[in-house]
Amino acid sequence: MQPDKRHIDWRSPRLWRLIIQWLFFGWCLFLGVQFGLFVRHFETMGQTGYYPRPPGVEGFLPIGALVSLKAWIFTGDIDPVHPAALILFVTFLGMALLAKKSFCSFLCPVGTLSEAAWKLGQKLFGRNFRIWPWLDLLLRGVKYALLLFFVKLVLIDMPVLALRGFMAAPYWAIADVKMLHFFTQMSLTSLTIVVVLTLLSVPFKNFWCRFLCPYGALLGLLSMLSPFKITRRASSCIGCGACSRSCPALLDVQQKTQVHSPECTGCLTCASNCPVDGTLSMAFWKRPLPGIVFVGVVLLLFGGGVLTGMLSGHWQTILTYTDYQYLVPNASQLGH
């Protein structure tokens, strides 16, 4: 019997992932607008209304957060200027360690837009395209090269004294404002790059994530240690290939007993598309679990990380209204 298409299955992990992705995307937009209004208040010398600064915007400062993480490990001090950057970074690393690259498939706004873009490509062209295997392999190395560059720059080359200098510098204090300006005052070069990447994301699945994102590369490597793995029960598999065809990471799930690849985001698309109940699932230490449990784990990890930061007093910046009165109008001169 065919399932009733009008019936919404509220236990569907696919549905929940979609809801979480777009809710989080909307939340990021909301934070962006609120932060924009906060900055505008100081740029206009108080002529426009004051909106409190949302600390969540610090999630967009991953390189600074990497510096902050090293400083925390070596000095024991949590950076008080952008503490939420560290909290969010550690939360996302923890999510990768425990629940695969779920940050990419559930939370990352770039991932959400990329997915919307390739789904649009599917509608436009009837399918998505694949790059020649040799070029695909070569290009996938780019994100690891970028990751290596940042790891060397921050984790290897930066002495502890330099970490302290970075954390105390006006450039770090104003890094969130500079990030906002990157989007609101985009140079022609940046705009061209964004447009080209967006266009490439329509025919090719997750172009940015697959080839270029060093953050995703880091999370992918950590995710290999995750106890959660997509697991296929070969005895009941009918070899239809629906899992391999639907995988956004282009993994040949059909040929694997367990998916160990750092490219697997834990999106559960393969499991949702498998026509044989109980054949393909997210398993915890090889124990198959309903997909909705994995969705719950992802939410718990994210909520737990943020809440821990908030309750431990490492969420709000120590910068004051007076600090921002100086920092924001001088943003373009600071840190050159």
The binding site for ligand SF4 (CB under 6 A) comprises 230, 232, 237-243, 247-249, 251, 253-254, 259, 264-270, 274, 276, 279-280
CB of 214 to ligand SF4, least distance (A): 19
- Whose Cβ is closer to ligand SF4: residue 68's or residue 231's? 231
Q: What is the DSSP code string of 45-80?
A: TT-SPP-PPPGGGGGG-HHHHHHHHHHHHHH-PPPS
CB of 303 to ligand SF4, least distance (A): 22
CB of 306 to ligand SF4, least distance (A): 24
CB of 137 to ligand SF4, least distance (A): 17
Distance CA 175, CA 167 (A): 11
Greatest CA separation for the chain: 69
- Whose Cβ is closer to ligand SF4: residue 273's or residue 317's? 273
Beta carbons of 305 and 99 less than 8 angstroms apart: no
Q: What is the DSSP code string of 285-331?
A: TTEEE-HHHHHHHHHHHHHHHHHHHHHTT-SS-S--HHHHHHHTTTT
Find the DSSP H helices in 261-290.
269-273
CB of 87 to ligand SF4, least distance (A): 27
CB of 281 to ligand SF4, least distance (A): 9
Distance CA 294, CA 51 (A): 36
- Whose Cβ is closer to ligand SF4: residue 190's or residue 255's? 255
Strand order in the sheet with 287-289: 228-232, 280-284, 287-289
- Whose Cβ is closer to ligand SF4: residue 233's or residue 314's? 233
- Whose Cβ is closer to ligand SF4: residue 67's or residue 242's? 242
Instruction: Give residues with Cβ within 8 angstroms of 277, minimum separation 6.
Output: none
- Whose Cβ is closer to ligand SF4: residue 99's or residue 242's? 242
